[in-house]
């Protein structure tokens, strides 16, 4: 079993909801080394929160 840890910095964004999937994938080339796993994503900003949704535009619009 192997694991990987990396700290990345996302680009600044104004208030509101933002899709960051592509930005995370772009910064984690190492994801190609894994076929299955668990991701722990920690945001070090006191006023930020993270939600996980299905990759479906209909889910984001409701």
Residues of the chain above pLDDT 90, percent: 5
Task: Work out how many domains the chain is built from and give that number.
Answer: 1
Q: pLDDT of 3-26, one tens digit each?
A: 888 999 989 889 888 888 889 889
In 3D, which of 12, 3, 4 has the Cα closest to residue 45?
12
Q: Which domain holds residue 57?
A: 1-62
Please report how many Cα atoms fall inside a 13 Å half-sphere around the Cα of residue 18, on the Cβ side: 13
Q: What is the pLDDT of residue 33?
A: 87
Residue 61 pLDDT exceeds 70:
no
* pTM, to two decimals: 0.65
Predicted confidence band at 27 (pLDDT cuts at 50, 70, 90)? very high
Query: What secondary structure does DSSP assign to 9-50, as a single string?
Result: -PPP--SS----HHHHHHH-GGGGG-SS---------TT---
């Amino acid at each position: 079993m192997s694991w990987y840890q990396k700290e990345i910095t996302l680009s600044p964004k104004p208030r509101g909801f933002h899709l960051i999937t592509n930005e995370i994938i772009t910064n984690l080339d190492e994801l190609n080394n894994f076929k299955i796993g668990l991701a722990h994503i920690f945001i070090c900003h006191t006023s930020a929160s993270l939600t996980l949704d299905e990759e479906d535009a209909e889910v984001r619009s409701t």
